[in-house]
Chain A
């Protein structure tokens, strides 16, 4: 591996690799990344049409297919689309909701708040959704995302302006979604899920750029809410269906991949276009999911504070996704080209001026929301011109796991994890003890180190750091 500059390393092209692999990390973090994750990044560099580099972020770790924390951009005319490079949880996203409240005002009510939110938001294994959709309604939701939810009374119109793609991914065609994905989607709209999905009430602990923070509606000592969830069973089934389809179709296109999980077809093939339209339905499902949970979060706060959510200033700051493939224009050898950028556990970070930013954030660049592990900090960043040039405007997506779920469970019981966090003054409620044990803070890399590495390599600018006061785990 060669050091390119501080925070940037390269694995030269070898074997079947079409491009080199680049890893954005500090020396300290680099030493913690598993060999298998590097191999998965090299495998990703084999895919047809990949441009410049297969890119690994500092939170990179072993996944399936590409590593989690991987980015790959493919030329629209000659490149491929790979559902495994998006992941099963299509559009797994993070939403940040602000409030006018100061952390100290909220602290005495945290326990009550988490209890109320647990009542309102279904979370964990086997928890049924409260929204029961008919097939036609689900089709409409697949086609129009968060806009559907707002129409049905979940949330405010202004929420859409502060969501990627204005809350509705275009080119979403429910006819390309299987009957099975419909069935999995019917009863899960507005559910948090399990694993690393969460709702946190956080305190803004540090502001690094007061001018930008002000534009994002953030201030020191403020109480904010962070929501992490995805497209649930509907998205998982869309990915499953199309990976299976592409495995069958690859021979026809004479494509060979080093790992079946990287199954892909040309972007312009029938299978590729079908997947793109179905994936966009998955994105819309996730956006609608966030919208419903935002509505119940506001309801919970209204109940506890006996004030209207509008008066509590509970506006969405932004919603940004970290499992997706998006068509974007980027510069390749001095020319603007249309590329399909796959981000698997990586967050889009468009700098100021780019038209992908919502109008409200055109002069700052949109907020890049990076959740930490349970009991540790989360960050708001903005992307830089360096990120645009080098990583197709992408940064990390979180701390990244350092320990398997199994190892974490062997190490500590869920009850212990809860107790330790409570001793630090946090309120913790999980849908299951095992879930809490699996998500123990020490099972993850140090988020502060990860963010420092992203900053070191010049991909982002820090805006704020938040610390959890109360956690609801699925």
Chain B
């Protein structure tokens, strides 16, 4: 299964991420977001960062997870390439471990900063047994 795909959007970075499980879909969404800023293949999973998040529903949980991931990327000045995620049975809370390293201009083939995760055309849904998420990030 493809991890994510970028879609046409005139100004910003729009992607769709996929997963056999909801956790995989969350992880691929965060990977897609990191790949807007750099070549994630060049980011070693050296350091670990943990987070716990809860929200009223799975879709808002994903949005909050991406917002929190972006906040960590910016304030810790890090990029991430691997994600371990556990989502509660109710799909309203998660525990995540993000793996990555501090930004290295020479190593990571840096691209464009993401300003925020928008709500425009944002969704998370289960279709034919697989999970799909879509997001537009302001760049």
A interface, CB within 8 angstroms of B:
34, 37, 61-65, 68, 84, 87-89, 124-128, 180, 183-184, 187, 193-195, 233, 236-237, 239-240, 243-244, 247, 259-261, 263, 401-407, 431-432, 434-435, 438
Contacts and interface: CB of A to CB of B under 8 A. Distances in A.
Given A61-B10, A64-B12, A407-B8, A435 B112 contact: yes
B71 A237 contact: yes
Contact of A243 (B10, B37, B79, B119): B119
Interface in B86-131: 103, 105, 108-113, 115-122
A125 B111 contact: yes
A405 B112 contact: yes
A126 B119 contact: no
B71 A126 contact: no
A88 B67 CA distance: 13
Given A195-B115, A236-B116, A404-B9, 15 more contacts: A37-B10, A64-B119, A65-B120, A68-B11, A125-B37, A125-B38, A236-B115, A236-B138, A259-B119, A261-B118, A402-B10, A404-B10, A405-B13, A406-B6, A432-B111
Query: Looking at chain B, what size class is its interface with the partner chain?
Result: 20 to 34
A183 B75 CA distance: 7
11 contacts: A64-B12, A87-B138, A124-B105, A124-B113, A125-B105, A126-B105, A194-B112, A259-B119, A260-B122, A406-B6, A435-B111
A194 B38 CA distance: 13
B25 interface: no
A67 B71 CA distance: 25
Interface string B20-55: 000000000000000001100000000000000000
A186 to B, nearest CB: 8
B56 to A, nearest CB: 9
B139 interface: yes
B62 interface: no
B10 A34 contact: yes
Contacts of B38: 125
Contacts of A259: 119-120
A224 to B, nearest CB: 27
Given A240-B116, A261-B118, A124 B110 contact: yes
Contacts of B136: 64
A260 B11 contact: no
A438 B9 contact: no
A323 to B, nearest CB: 11
Contacts of A431: 110
Given A195-B139, A247-B119, A432-B111, A126 B11 contact: no
A35 B12 CA distance: 16
Contacts of A247: 119
Nearest to A248: B56
A62 B11 contact: yes
Given A126-B105, A128-B77, A237-B71, A403 B112 contact: no
A-B pairs with lowest CB-CB distance, top 3: A126-B103, A64-B120, A260-B119
